[in-house]
Amino acid sequence: MTSFERDFNNVAVVSLEQNYRSKQNILDAANALIAHNAGPREKRLWSALGPGDPVMFHLAWDDSSEAQFIVDEAGHLLDEGYRLEDIAVLFRTRAQSRPLEDAFIRAGLPYMIIGATEFYKRKEIKDAIAYLRVVDNPRDMVAFARIANEPKRGLGPKSLEKIESAAREAGSLTGISEDAAAVSKLFPAKAAPLIGVLRRLHGLRGSVPVPELVRAVLEDTGYYSYVERMDKQEGVSRAENLEEFFKLAHEYAKEASKPTLEGFLSKVSLVSDSDVEEGDESRARMLTLHSAKGLEFPVVFIVGLEEGMLPHGNALGDADGDREERRLCYVGATRAKELLYLSACKGRMTRGVACNNDISRFIMEIGPDRFKMLEGARGGASPGESFFDTAPGGGSDEAVERSTAIRLGGADADGFSREPADDDYSVPRRASSKKSSASSRGFDSDRFDGVDEEIIREKCGFRAGDKVAHNAFGTGRIVSFKGDEICVAFENIGIKRLSARYAPLVKID
Q: Looking at residue 97, what is its pLDDT?
A: 93
Q: Assess whether 135 and 241 both reside in one domain.
A: yes
Q: Is residue 2 part of a domain?
A: no
Q: In 3D, which of 372, 382, 306, 366 has the Cα closest to residue 341? A: 372
For residues 62 and 349, give the distance between their C-alpha atoms in angstroms, rounded to a whole number. 9
- pLDDT tens digit at each of 509 positions of the chain: 567 767 888 888 787 888 889 999 999 999 999 999 876 667 788 888 999 999 999 999 899 999 999 999 999 999 999 999 999 999 999 989 999 999 999 899 999 999 888 899 999 999 999 999 999 999 999 999 999 999 999 999 999 999 998 888 889 998 887 665 455 665 688 898 999 999 999 999 989 999 999 999 999 999 999 998 888 778 888 999 999 999 999 989 988 999 999 999 998 988 776 655 555 568 999 999 999 999 999 999 999 999 888 998 878 767 677 889 999 999 999 999 999 999 999 888 766 666 777 899 999 899 888 989 887 766 554 555 445 543 333 333 333 333 332 322 333 323 223 333 333 323 222 233 333 333 322 323 333 333 344 444 454 677 777 888 876 677 888 877 766 678 787 776 667 777 666 667 888 87
Q: Are residues 169 and 37 in the same domain?
A: no
Q: Smallest Cα–Cα separation from 388: which of 396, 376, 378, 377?
A: 396
Q: What is the distance between the terminal CA atoms of the chain, rounded to a whole angstrom? A: 48
197 and 57 within one domain = no
Q: Which domain holds residue 227?
A: 121-272
Q: Give the pLDDT of residue 350.
A: 67
Cβ atoms 217, 202 nearer than 8 A: no
- Length in residues, the chain: 509
182 shares its domain with 300: no
**Residue 51: what are its φ and ψ, rounded to 5°?**
-70, -40
248 and 320 part of one domain: no
Residue 398: inside a domain: no
Choose among 358, 384, 334, 282: nearest CA to 57: 384
Domain of 33, CATH number, reads: 3.40.50.300
- Looking at the structure, do residues 206 and 260 belong to the same domain, yes or no? yes
Q: Is 36 part of any domain?
A: yes
Q: Are residues 228 and 301 in the same domain?
A: no
Q: Residue 245 is part of a domain; what is its CATH number? A: 1.10.486.10
| Residue 5, domain member (yes or no) | no
Q: Catalogue the E-assigned strands of 409-504.
A: 416-417, 429-430, 467-470, 474-482, 485-490, 494-499
C-alpha distances in Å from residue 500, one per residue of 42, 84, 161: 47, 43, 48
Question: Which of 238, 272, 306 corresponds to the end of one domain?
Answer: 272
Assess whether 372 and 444 both reside in one domain.
no
Cα(33)–Cα(27) distance, integer angstroms = 10
Contact 295, 335 (CB under 8 A): yes
Output the CA torsion sign for 361, 362, 363, 368. positive
Residue type, 130: A
176 and 104 assigned to the same domain: no
Q: How many domains does the chain have?
A: 3
**How high is the pLDDT of residue 455?**
47
Instruction: For residue 190, tell me if it sits in a domain.
Output: yes
Distance CA 416, CA 401 (A): 10
Which of these three, 272, 306, 323, is where a domain ends? Answer: 272
Claim to verify: residue 227 and residue 140 sit in the same structural domain: yes
Residues 6+ apart with CB under 8 A from 448: 464, 465, 479, 480
User: Is residue 306 in some structural domain?
Assistant: yes
Domain contains 162: yes
Whether residue 45 is found in the same domain as residue 101: yes
Give tens-digit pLDDT for 184-206: 665 688 898 999 999 999 999 98
Q: Domain ends where: 225, 245, 272? A: 272
- Whether residue 314 lies inside any domain: the answer is yes
Same domain, 249 and 147: yes
Structure confidence at residue 499 (pLDDT): 67
Over residues 241-280, the pLDDT tens digits come to: 999 999 999 989 988 999 999 999 998 988 776 655 555 5
DSSP string of 376-422, one letter each residue: S-TTS---EE-SGGGSTTTT-HHHHHHGGGGTTS---TT-EE-PPPS
